[in-house]
Structure 1
Amino acid sequence: MTAQREAVQVTGIGLIAPNGLGLEEYWKAVLEGRSGIGTLDRFDAARYPARLAGQIDGFDAADHLPSRLLPQTDVSTRYALVAADWALADAGIEPGAYADYDMGVVTSNASGGFEFTHREFHKLWSQGPGAVSVYESYAWFYAVNTGQISIRNGLRGPGSALVAEQAGGLDALGHARRTVLRGTPMVVTGGVDSALDPWGWVAQISGGRLSTATDPHRGYLPFDTHARGYVPGEGGAILVLEAAGAAAARGAPHLHGEIAGYATTFDPPPGSPRPPGLRRAAELALADAGLTPDDIDVVFADAAGVPDLDRVEAEALRGLFGPCGVPVTAPKTLTGRLYSGGGPVDVCTALLALRDAVIPPTAGTTEVPEEYRIDLVRGAPRPGPLSAALVLARGRWGFNSALVVRTARTP
């Protein structure tokens, strides 16, 4: 970020993950190495080749949302609404803090309302069109989380929705930051996904990248010699971004950190002699933040868990930072890949790492190929001073996103 631009600060966080409901519960689980990955039990998955998932247990939407919202929302939208409530409460934003047109919403979603749609399509096929819920017209849609958060909280400013699979969550944060820099004082942003019903599960298996392991502790092993795919999960995070001056003027109770830089690139088509775009995205994000590779204290990796993709990411990190030039971690091995929710959760984890001066480890991974030459944090948390982190994410079909966070500066 150049000196002429006002800082965009994270003043509120709401996080829902397989290993923790709420920011501090999740962080405690990460530092303790407590996993939320287990055998999928939402339905009988025994006949499917992949059976591990990061499931959210112990969450009852009826405990958090009005009963009128339950018939019209998919499980992913319920997560998003509750996470948004938690984020706004954490930010201390009450009615009247801003005019309604000064508050925007930018979210990302990769799966849509899979569970809701599967249920309503089953009604269509078995009972006829008259049995289908009228809410199906929008409950399935990728933009529904933006709309529902906006309606519930009276946020009438700029609204957007982005779709870029695993990279989409960082894109949402990057676009929200841009929206703040253009003059909207506060934006609610992030990503949440859930597709753990039979239809959604088959769709994920068809991508060919899911791990077929049966041991939850060995199912998702990014950057490991034994990497054979990833474990999917559900959940995500919603953040409140504010212009530093506006946050200071209203006396924001928390300054979790600053979104300092962002960039996105696309991979060249298959067979092209040009290199993948991940390193370029990282370089552009650092330039946007006004930082150099030497300023980055830790990288939160995309960590695909697919050997070819891990190799590409390791090469990008090695080229940008030098061999073993920066600590790298992937705490998402405790949750699974959360698609649009993955990037925002990684950003929250990075902000917590900066706050507490500790890098969480990559659980499960034990044997990193020597040719990768990356300093992957394993085994136990690594303490040390931290001031800036780079978060990476890649989406299927060539999306690359990079986002830089750093400790908050007072205006």
Structure 2
Amino acid sequence: MTTAVVTGLGVVAPNGLGIEEFWKSTLDGRSGIAAITRFDASEYGAELAGQVTDFEAAWPTPAKLLPQTDVSTRFALAAAEWALSDAAVDPSALVDYDMGVVTANAFGGFEFTHRELSKLWSKGGQHVSVYESFAWFYAVNTGQISIRHGLRGPSKALVAEQAGGLDAIGHARRTLRDGTGLVVTGGVDSALDPWGWASQLSGGRVSPTAYRPFDVHANGYLPGEGGAILVVEDVDAARRRGVGRIYGEIAGYATTFDPAPGSPRPPGLRRAVELALADAGLAPGDVDVVFADAAGVPELDRQEAEAIAGVFGPSGVPVTAPKTLTGRLYSGGGPLDVVAALLSVRDGVIPATAGVVDLPDDHPIDLVRGEPRYRTVSNALVLARGKWGFNAAIVVRAHNG
């Protein structure tokens, strides 16, 4: 069976551009959360978010792309370019139909389309950009990455929320197993314009004060923007091109759905964990760390803690949620956690969960807080849950081949 290995990583995150800046910030506990600066959010009831700053200095958008791309697509293009460079992939030296793209997106080109709609309403249709025909579309990140790098193989675009990014990576692994040699995959999101912000607040889960999952004072999450793109390859194909470094394997993957509200059946997260471990051929005792979804909503936090404790035993495995430093990035959140998990494997360290102070007395998980925990990490589990009950779980494993 095909072994899917990760050979390149690209990160655009509120607390760092590029994998090393992001990782240093994560281990140092440096937050990218701040008051929104792109518009006056003081009257919205919440104004804290994870914003990506200094992006143009790190990746100047080519002039021809500026009028046709939303900020989220620019993030995706930058992360893809960095990931391909990190993997030392020259697409022109490989077969174009043997390279695909699978990305996830929750918002589409929110800021772009709202700007164009404002022109439509205030000035008339003749003032609307012709690029509105695709810049808003959920598939545009997959398309733009494919066009820019000549990746003409099997490709997909998934429309999903927080769990969508993990689902994209799972689909990428399936694409490798179907015979494609290399897939660029992950997720990126951004919706920090006024309308995008209003849409996020309308869900009722955004905190007006802080993001502190599993804390007794948890009252919601803080949104963010950005995400991560990965290069995943069939290990044999990677070796044929002389790959110099492998971060790890995508060893297990599973998704489940929660039952309908009012159902006597339990939430589906625990089942997703069990299926992902079975897919990876691992027992619970083989897992060294869990990167939690960490919703920041008390009921959802309790459900996740119970699912983790149910599989691994009370405080049976270290649990962390570095996303408290970036906010929840929707389809970008899961891939960014996968990057953190792979770097944990590489460096033998589990990052701490920032901002969580008071845990319930009956808290059933070993949440890493305060300082990073240094230990060997061979297998890591990454969890994500989307609104309306979509659960995803991925196991990453150290590659010893």
Kindly indicate whether residue 310 of structure 2 is the aligned counterpart of residue 319 of structure 1.
yes
Q: Which residue of 1 aligns with 2:153?
A: 157
- Could you tell which deviates more after superposition, 93-102 or 338-347? 93-102
AA matched with 1:268:
P
3-state SS of paired residue (1:165): coil
| Distance in 2, Cα, partners of 1:388 & 1:129 | 54
Q: Which residue of 2 aligns with 1:175?
A: 171
| Distance in 2, Cα, partners of 1:155 & 1:180 | 14
Where does 1:322-401 land on structure 2 (aligned, <5 Å)?
A: 322-401=313-392
3-state SS of paired residue (1:86): helix
Match of 2:77 among 67, 75, 81: 81
| Distance in 2, Cα, partners of 1:329 & 1:97 | 40
**Percent identity over paired residues:** 70
AA matched with 1:129:
G
Q: Which residue of 1 aligns with 2:297?
A: 306
Q: Which residue of 2 aligns with 1:117?
A: 113
Q: Which residue of 2 aligns with 1:280?
A: 271
CA contact (8 A) 2:2 2:176 kept: no
Q: Which residue of 2 aligns with 1:10?
A: 6
CA contact (8 A) 1:90 1:254 kept: no
Aligned-residue RMSD, C-alpha: 0.9
Aligned length: 401
Match of 2:229 among 223, 232, 238: 238
AA matched with 2:151:
L
Where does 1:24-173 land on structure 2 (aligned, <5 Å)?
A: 24-60=20-56, 63-173=59-169
| Distance in 2, Cα, partners of 1:62 & 1:174 | 29
3-state SS of paired residue (1:45): coil
CA offsets per residue over residues 260-316 of structure 1, 9 Å max, x none? 010000000000000000000011011111111111000000000000000000010
Where does 1:237-256 land on structure 2 (aligned, <5 Å)?
A: 237-256=228-247
CA contact (8 A) 2:110 2:190 kept: yes
Kindly indicate whether residue 390 of structure 2 is the aligned counterpart of residue 402 of structure 1.
no
Distance apart, 1:133 and its partner CA: 0.4
Cα gap change, 1:400 to 1:189, in 2 (>3 Å): same
3-state SS of paired residue (2:260): coil
AA matched with 1:222:
P
| Distance in 2, Cα, partners of 1:126 & 1:339 | 31
Cα gap change, 1:61 to 1:171, in 2 (>3 Å): farther
- Structure 1: runs of 5 or more not aligned: 214-218
| Distance in 2, Cα, partners of 1:21 & 1:385 | 26
Distance apart, 1:63 and its partner CA: 4.4
Where does 1:209-224 land on structure 2 (aligned, <5 Å)?
A: 209-213=205-209, 219-224=210-215
AA matched with 1:238:
I
Q: Which residue of 2 aligns with 1:216?
A: none
Structure 1 length as normaliser, TM-score?
0.96
Cα gap change, 1:287 to 1:224, in 2 (>3 Å): same
3-state SS of paired residue (2:362): helix
Cα gap change, 1:63 to 1:296, in 2 (>3 Å): closer
CA contact (8 A) 2:17 2:58 kept: no
3-state SS of paired residue (2:346): helix
AA matched with 1:287:
A
CA offsets per residue over residues 27-66 of structure 1, 9 Å max, x none? 0000110000000111000101111000011111794332
Distance apart, 1:252 and its partner CA: 1.0
CA contact (8 A) 1:18 1:55 kept: yes
CA contact (8 A) 2:163 2:334 kept: yes
Match of 1:188 among 184, 193, 199: 184
CA offsets per residue over residues 203-230 of structure 1, 9 Å max, x none? 00000000011xxxxx100000010000
| Distance in 2, Cα, partners of 1:340 & 1:148 | 17
| Distance in 2, Cα, partners of 1:327 & 1:125 | 52
| Distance in 2, Cα, partners of 1:371 & 1:168 | 31
- Structure 2: runs of 5 or more not aligned: none
| Distance in 2, Cα, partners of 1:263 & 1:376 | 23
Distance apart, 1:90 and its partner CA: 0.6
